[in-house]
């Protein structure tokens, strides 16, 4: 069944993710607000907001869940060659607002965006509080790719990425995963399946397995890395 949340109660508990709808897959609740308190509580329970323009806030916990374990990162030969060229400079938290705005732009002529202004503002607040982070790929001083997400405990929750040059976001993602591994992070939540993520080593796991992994890793206090590791 679909649950309704009260937008005047940011600390209101979320329903059990196992009660989420199967069609559409993972839809759990509607309404509420995008306060930092509510968003952090959601991620800690394996729930995330995702909705489009002219829609209410929708909260999801799909089954199965796409995850990447740092030690399972896969780098194709072509991507390894690209990284050896060192065409991109990778940084962390240098241009969060630019990255999220780039991710929010429609990808095609007739496409909308799920990163509506309220969502952008919510993640900007999370960034100012040290929860949301960006990864930037630069070429000759120009931002050409990147991604952003949230770091809680030993888990990084990936949200969205963009690329203006081929392989820019892939190189940024690889450097992020290697840096997270060095910092002791145990799990990267990729949310839903894409061939792109699968090519990098992400895989689907049942939701109950994901929630068990999450409950353990999210309490393993780690710090988002300052130094970038691309080696």
Q: Give per-residue pLDDT as tens, 2-30.
A: 999 998 898 899 999 999 999 999 999 99
Q: Give per-residue pLDDT as tens, 106-153.
A: 765 545 567 899 999 999 999 999 999 999 999 999 999 999 999 999
pTM of the prediction?
0.95
All structural domains of the chain:
3-62 (3.30.70.3550), 66-217 (3.40.630.70)
**What pLDDT is stored for residue 201 in this prediction?**
96
What band does 218 get if pLDDT is binned at 50, 70 and 90?
very high
Beta bridge partners of 4: 30
How far, in Å, CA of 38 to CA of 43, rounded?
9
Classify the phi-psi angles of 3: left when phi > 0, otherwise alpha if psi is within -120 to 50, otherwise beta. beta
Q: Give per-residue pLDDT as tens, 158-184.
A: 999 999 999 999 999 999 999 999 999
**What pLDDT is stored for residue 111 in this prediction?**
56
How far, in Å, CA of 189 to CA of 68, rounded?
7
Q: Which of 146, 173, 150, 176 is nearest to 161 (CA)?
A: 146
Exposure string (b/e) for 71-102, b if CB count within 10 Å is 16 or more? Answer: eebebeeebeebbeeebbbbbbbebbeebbeb
């Amino acid at each position: 069944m679909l649950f309704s949340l009260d937008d005047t109660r940011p600390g209101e508990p979320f329903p059990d993710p196992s009660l989420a709808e199967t069609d559409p897959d993972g839809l759990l609740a509607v309404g509420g607000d995008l306060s930092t308190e509510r968003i952090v509580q959601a991620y800690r329970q394996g729930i995330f907001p995702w909705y489009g323009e002219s829609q209410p806030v929708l909260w999801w916990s799909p089954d199965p869940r796409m995850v990447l374990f740092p030690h399972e990162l896969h780098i194709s030969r072509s991507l390894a060659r690209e990284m050896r060229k060192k065409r991109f400079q990778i940084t962390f938290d240098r241009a969060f607002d630019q990255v999220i705005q780039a991710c929010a732009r429609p990808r095609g002529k007739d496409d909308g965006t799920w990163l509506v202004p309220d969502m952008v503002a919510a993640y900007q607040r999370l960034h100012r509080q040290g929860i949301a982070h960006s990864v930037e790929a630069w070429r000759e001083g120009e931002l050409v790719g990147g991604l952003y997400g949230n770091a809680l405990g030993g888990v990084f929750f990936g949200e969205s990425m963009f690329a203006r040059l081929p392989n820019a976001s892939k190189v940024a993602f690889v450097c992020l995963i290697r840096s997270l591994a060095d910092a002791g992070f145990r799990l990267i939540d990729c949310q839903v399946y894409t061939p792109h993520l699968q090519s990098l080593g992400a895989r689907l796991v049942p939701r109950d397995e994901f929630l068990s992994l999450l409950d353990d890793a999210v309490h393993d206090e780690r710090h988002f890395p300052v130094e970038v590791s691309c080696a």
